[in-house]
Amino acid sequence: MIISTGTASGKSLAYLTPAVASCLDGGTVLYLTPTKALAADQLRSLRDLRITQVRAACFDGDTPFEERTWVRKHANYVLTNPDMLHRSILPRHAQWSSFFRRLRLVVVDECHGYRGVFGSHVAQILRRLRRIAARYGSRPAFLLASATASEPGTFAKRLTGLDMAEVTEDGSPKGATTIALWEPPLTELRGEGGAPVRRTATAEAADLLADLVLADVRTLAFVRSRRGAETVALTARAKLADVAFSLSATHPHLATSPGTPNTAAHTGREPTPANDPTPAPAPDRGPDPSPGFSATPGQSATSTPDLDQSHDTSREFNARPEERPGPGASAHEGQHADQAPDGYAPACRDQDADQARDQDGYRDRDKNRNQEQDGHQDRSPNPDRVAAPSDTLSWALPETTDWAALPEKVAAYRAGYLAEDRRLLEKALRSGTLMGLATTNALELGVDVSGLDAVLIAGWPGTRASLWQQAGRAGRDGRDALAVLIARDDPLDTYLVHHPQALFGQPVEAIVLDPGNPYVLGPHLCAAAAEIPLTDDDLSLFGDTTADVLDTLVSDGLLRRRPAGWFWTKRERATDLADIRGGGGAPIHVVESSTGRLLGSVDEPSSHTTVHTGAIYLHQGETYLVELLDLEAGVALVSRSEPDYSTFARDITDISILATLRSQPLGPGTLHFGDVEVTRQVVSYLKRRLQSGEMLGDEPLDLPPRTLRTRAVWWTLPASVVTTLAEDGFDLGGAAHAAEHAAIGLLPLFATCDRWDIGGVSTELHADTGLLTVFVYDGHEGGAGFAERGFARATDWLTATREAIASCECERGCPSCIQSPKCGNGNDPLDKRGALRLLGTLLSS
């Protein structure tokens, strides 16, 4: 069964009831979640029930090794994640025989997170789990839960291989949520080609976070990268420190001791007499919840402003910077995300799916495998905001006036922190000790942080499903809430703030996954054979393509066919063949050159763009400069540094067509879908100043090319049409190039992917077609279903692409419409008018 109802609708109770009943009847329960934070939160809820017969325990990368034996032998409710199930539990199933023999229920929580290549891997892990359970004589029921799954029954069947019943009716009470869409203002800065640059979303998010904390509004700010989360927290803390200093200097009559009510704020209460003999209670300072951050003890937000008095379940608010409300309004201007650069270009692609995803699963080979992505961060203050508080800020003064402690009410949260630090941060946010938390999507999924009043989303999170998940973190106790989507300097973000109908009243995206992808299926067949030799009876469990993939594995020497079945032939761990969250290949170890200390690891494909020589690398709030990337040794040597710039890798890409699987007319042109081979090489990196976004240079790199066999959607135009465009004075190469950049930016609106899951190539004359051709391809070996989705929705997709370009207010093109910071050609040539004409011609009937 799959339960697909809204956030805070009681899904946890729906699966806890049968789960606890199974434990009371002598059975066992396996709870599966994409993140360790959610597992820890669920464990806390289970222990709060105080049912002694339920022996619940987490079994993940944070579980001490001395506790793991106890969990295997005694726990009857085990909470884990797909990584641990793949690398530890299933390969060592004999040690778990008692648990598997009594397994009654498998709970797959927040299942919409299993999409794309990651979801395809999880689908095969669940099939391996079913096979292991059957070996020990159990047939557990599967109960899936999600707040944002489209066609839940169909998706759940593809994920588990089992027929599914659906529960989709949601009668739970909800407060009203005000949704604000904000496009940041253009600045006076100029980027490549003289294009105007918008203020970044992280800088705006930091401003808003500081404002809301001042107003005693408990707020969560979602930022797309780990570095972005750190930057938003640090910037907000700095702003609050300035406010605290100014308040202490300009409002001495408010400078009361901690715990004393603020008598000057607009509370309507009488001031406390100066001679009141009652001393203020001393605060109970708890432990530091986060490296580099100390949580300030204090009162919970007991006087949160009423953000929305209406009883509508959702309200839209579109605002331009010049229409910004004054202090105290519930919608603020926003700003461009942390600039995690997007992969596209006629010569660019970014297949580093972990760049913004903070799914912190278990890594058996390297527990501290932190894939840091150093996106551009704007720490500059908003010149429109009040730098020093004055009497106009009295609306925002909190109940307590320990001004020096204001900055300590904000912290960052992401993977890479120690488990105990993450748990302390979660506890501090729930209790109100922390009023603002800047986080990656590690807190997107179901963690109970009730009491939140506002959510800031710095940049489109990739899907409508993620948007509603993140917005649903606020107002979970039934109160009204505020959610602000702050647009990045990106074509898709630009499109959405100008076309709110694409968000509101629309179903969430269909979840795309392909368990039959041979590049996914092969490693899991090897892992299954290493667990228990495969037999003919297992073929139907793993899908229709299993027989062909097994033949390939035998010919490659990975499996050996015997009369009893297929056997794993190697001494190495078969599970190492599948990197379920990364791009494959042996990890590159990031080592501090002066001490030899291992900081973390990056998968080999990501290393070309994230830890190349000269790259800026961030680890647990510290900035490092990559001195050398040695691919043969598998090491990146780094040293501590404090540069005033960030780096972005640029690549060039060639593409060849291997097979055309489908074709159909599209206007005067033709749309195709098929197999392609992509050759990509990182050739240089950009240096951009942190404070202003100013380009400082383009440094060359010498890295080997990488080859990828995948699937693509592409369209061509006949020579007669192209000739007409050329005669009208349009730059054909620049028009195709601009259309390709924008099309990549808009595909995530129609396929459940992130921008770094896809790439593109455009050319005025392609060798395989002999025509003007624009490609958009999946950035994963074998394909992930994204290009196929684009083929199916081509008219809607390309229409939205044209509208996104047309709605941008720039004259010749900018990052909000057709420019890419990772374009290997330096965003040259680009022709905005030509792209509009080209797409208009293609879409004409």
Q: 173 - beta bridge partners?
A: none
Q: What SS3 string covers 93-137?
A: HHHHHHHHHCEEEEEECCHHHCCHHHHHHHHHHHHHHHHHHHHCC
Question: In which residue are the tokens 């400082």 written?
Answer: 696
**pLDDT for 57:** 96
235-269: per-residue pLDDT in tens? 999 899 988 888 776 655 554 433 333 333 333 33
**pLDDT for 442:** 66
- The Cβ of residue 14 has, within 10 Å, a number of other Cβ atoms equal to 17
**pLDDT for 170:** 84
d(CA 449, CA 824): 42
Which residue stretches of 364-512 are H helix? Answer: 419-431, 464-471, 491-498
**pLDDT for 339:** 33
d(CA 819, CA 793): 24
3-state secondary structure of 330: coil
In this prediction the pTM is 0.66
**pLDDT for 364:** 35
- The Cβ of residue 128 has, within 10 Å, a number of other Cβ atoms equal to 24
Which residues are within 8 A (CB) of 682 and not within 5 positions of it... i.e. 6 or more apart?
608, 609, 612, 649, 650, 651, 701, 703
d(CA 260, CA 815): 49
**pLDDT for 47:** 92
315-358: per-residue pLDDT in tens? 333 333 333 333 233 332 333 333 333 332 333 333 333 333 33
**pLDDT for 677:** 96
180-232: per-residue pLDDT in tens? 998 888 888 776 667 777 888 899 999 999 999 999 899 999 998 777 888 89
**pLDDT for 127:** 97
**pLDDT for 221:** 93
**pLDDT for 845:** 64
**pLDDT for 405:** 81
Positions of the chain with pLDDT under 70: 191-193, 249-402, 415-419, 442-451, 476-478, 509, 582-586, 620-621, 691-693, 752, 754-756, 821-822, 824, 826, 845
Amino acid at 789: R
In DSSP notation, 544-586 reads: TTHHHHHHHHHHTTSEEEETTEEEE--SS-GGGG--SSS--SP
314-319 vs 177-182, strand pairing mode: parallel
166-175: per-residue pLDDT in tens? 998 888 877 8
Q: 314 - beta bridge partners?
A: 177
CA-based torsion, 676, 677, 683, 684: positive or negative: positive
d(CA 445, CA 147): 9
